[in-house]
Amino acid sequence: MSHPAFAEANAPYDEARFVLYGIPFDGTSSFRAGSRWAPDAMRKVSYNFEAYVHDFGVDLERVPIHDMGNCETSVGVGDTLAETCALTKGIVNAGKVPIMMGGEHSLTYACVEAFRGKVGVVVLDAHLDLRKEYRGAKHNHACVSRHIIEELTDRYVALGVRSGTQEEWAFVRDHPELKFYTADDICRRGIDAVLKEVDAYFSGCDRIYLSLDMDAVDPAYAPGLGTPEPFGITPRDVRAVVGGLAPKAAGFDIVEIAPEYDCGEITAVLGAKLIRYFIAAKWKSMNKG
Ligand code: MN
Ligand code: MN
């Protein structure tokens, strides 16, 4: 492993209930690449925090967490997705919760695929990511949600969206069975009201996959991004989503942090904190009754 493990990720793989792994791949990122450096950036700053997460009364020292380190990636996105899917499948089939640290958003397709598609999907993202293909590549990071919707799930929620082409917004209009909440919707209505609706939407669904494209957050709070988009949601809103959905979430990822553009590690700190928050929320729900 190139970098010390994520803080408190001290359990051996066999005993772990949570498995962290980095996929340092940013091969299709078009504007500012560099999300390949994010897993180690988050590991480094993870030592900043107390092990005790007060909101859930959970001491992460006592939670069986394992960090597999960074996985070797291929040059091509296709091979990288296949490797990511196989790795994630192994974790899922062993009854553990996978937490993928990207890398770029295209990787999320492989993580959802590992559940054989039998999950609802929640994506936090500034971008719709609904293109069929981009720059000649199907699995460009700008297309990930489209392929997840068309191939892997029929229950899909996007939160914090505010950027897309005219065709992508037409797709949103044409699919009322999917839920898209813009950053303005969340700002206007409040995250609790939105989460209530999301909860009802997933009532017939026993597990979901949660993906955080960090650019959902306003770049004022998260400057280290490949594709920053102003007028985003707040870290507090994201935390509410992570805490609220963790009980139902069978897997989680954080993608698209670009440490080279970060200011004083603000974005990596936020990412590392949200991973810890997710684990604490999920662990509490696993140990209820
Ligand atoms: Mn995205
Ligand atoms: Mn995005």
Q: What is the pLDDT of residues 225-277, one digit of tens each?
A: 999 999 999 999 999 999 999 999 999 999 999 999 999 999 999 999 999 99
Determine the Cα–Cα distance for residues 27 and 217; give it in Å rounded to an integer: 23
Instruction: Note the pLDDT of residue 3.
Output: 75
Q: Can you read off the two tokens belonging to residue 260?
A: 């080279």
Average pLDDT over every residue of 116-132: 94
C-alpha of residue 62 to centroid of ligand 2, in Å:
34
- pLDDT reading at 1 higher than 60: no
- CB proximity list for 134: less than 8 A, separation 6 or greater: 28, 30, 140, 142, 143
Mean pLDDT for all residues in the chain: 96
From ligand 2's centre to the CA of 229, what distance in Å?
8
Residues whose CB is under 5 A from ligand 1 (ion)?
A: 105, 125, 127, 129, 213
**Percent of the chain that is helix, strand, coil (3-state, to 5):** 45, 20, 35
Q: How many angstroms separate the alpha carbon of residue 256 from the centre of ligand 1? A: 7
287 Cα–ligand 2 center, Å:
34
**What residue ranges in the chain does DSSP mark as E strands?**
18-23, 52-53, 58-59, 65-70, 97-102, 120-124, 156-161, 179-182, 208-213, 249-255
Q: Which residue has the tokens 């950027």?
A: 163
Query: Which pairing describes strands 58-59 and 120-124: parallel, antiparallel, or unpaired?
Result: unpaired
170-225 residue pLDDT tens: 999 999 999 999 999 999 999 999 999 999 999 999 999 999 999 999 999 999 99
β-strand 52-53 against 58-59: which pairing, if any?
Answer: antiparallel
- pTM of this structure: 0.97
Ligand nearest to the CA of 141: 1
